[in-house]
Amino acid sequence: MDQLEITRPDDWHLHVRDGAALKAVVPETARIFRRAIIMPNLTPPVTTVAQAEAYRDRVLAASPAGSDFQPLMTLYLTDNTDEETVSAAAAHPDIHAFKLYPAGATTNSDAGVTDIRHIRGALDAMADHDIPLLVHGEVTRPDVDFFDREKRFIDETLTQVVEDFAPLRVVFEHITTREAVAFVESAPNRVAATITPQHLMENRNALFRGGLRPHHFCLPVLKREEDRQALLEAATSGSPQFFLGTDSAPHPKGAKESACGCAGIYSAHTALELYAEIFDAAGCLEQLEAFASHNGSDFYRLPRNRGRVRLERKEKPVPAELPLGEEIIVPFRAGESLAWTATPLESA
């Protein structure tokens, strides 16, 4: 198959930052994707309805002229998030979820939740109001092996959250391990997961190939090859519990190539092309549309998009660098060529 048309996709996990970076990266997603779940880990974090409204306005202002791109906003859970905030968010048409960051788990997560017991009231309210919980699933204690943080979070926290707060819908974000795949597959259908292109394409060897590779450092970190294979099988299985979420995260080149390099991989520039290459290599191109365009909208109870995107087996070079305001960014697969090119056909 050298050409494929699919329903216009959505990105169910996206970082666009703010200010000059926001203006640089939003058009890359809006070119192909109709909607995106926007992460709230700004500095300071987006914790109120008013902050989310203002942030949405800035995202829309950064979208290309005439674009129909829709940012779907989220609020950042803290130890102090109360039931009134949940009720206000659930009633707002542009707020679609709350994001749980364990404190210290990733970029701009210092204000995150220190103990799940502190947000039991908020989780009860989320279940009552049917607003999803999005989870960065890692423990952050220093005694836990870095490559085991996701599994320990499943065992110590996530299993209990799913059991205790029915009928709460939960998205286990950017899963990275075979244990996470098994957890989602065995969970009720109100539990789903997003999977990134980097975790489908690379294992942890990519961090050290030819020397330390800071542009392959993300959180959760890349895992073993057996984990990558489990993720690939899940993504291409056709299961409605797995869908596209890039976790595309722009960081300036200097911040990545530093003594304490930050975590995050930028893939928005070629996101759909990356997934097409992954599904093609697995012999499962026929499953791409469900993963990219159907499963996420169904889980979030939003209408499927009406626009179409054409994918052609046509080489697409990835630049070595891209502008990021006054800085530059190194995208995923920088300096290489992808096998597929995506072109939007019509607007929704």
Answer whether 330's CB lies under 8 Å from 253's CB.
yes
Q: 156 — phi, psi (to 5°)?
A: -95, -25
CA-based angle 279:282:288, to the nearest 5?
Answer: 25
**Residue 21: C-alpha distances to residues 25, 58, 66, 320, 323 (Å):** 6, 12, 20, 18, 9
Tell whether 269 is in a known binding site.
no
The closest alpha carbon to 174, from 103, 255, 270, 242, belongs to 242
- Annotated binding residue at 99? yes
263 is in an annotated binding site: yes
CA distance 310 to 342: 6
Backbone Cα Rg of the chain: 19
Q: Is residue 298 annotated as involved in ligand binding?
A: no
215 known member of a binding site: no
| Residue 205: Cβ within 10 Å count | 12
Phi-psi region of 335 (alpha: psi -120 to 50; beta: other; left: phi over 0): left
110 assigned to a ligand binding site: no
The residues assigned a catalytic role are 247
Residue at token pair 């092309």: 273
What is the residue type of 273? E
Mind spelling out the 3-state secondary structure of 256-303?
HCCCCCCCCCCCHHHHHHHHHHHHHHCCCHHHHHHHHHHHHHHHCCCC
Q: How many CB atoms lie within 10 A of CB 28?
A: 20
Residue 247 in marked binding region: yes
Q: Is 96 annotated as a binding residue?
A: no
Q: 């666009």: which residue's tokens?
A: 16
Nearest 5°: the CA angle 181, 109, 265 is 60
Q: Is 136 annotated among the ligand-binding residues?
A: yes
Q: How many CB atoms within 10 Å of residue 209?
A: 10
CB neighbours (10 Å) of residue 314? 14
41 is in an annotated binding site: yes
Q: Could you list the residues known to form a binding site, using ranges.
A: 13, 15-17, 41, 99, 136, 174, 219, 247, 251, 263
Annotated binding site for Zn(2+): 13, 15, 99, 136, 174, 247
Annotated binding site for substrate: 15-17, 41, 136, 219, 251, 263
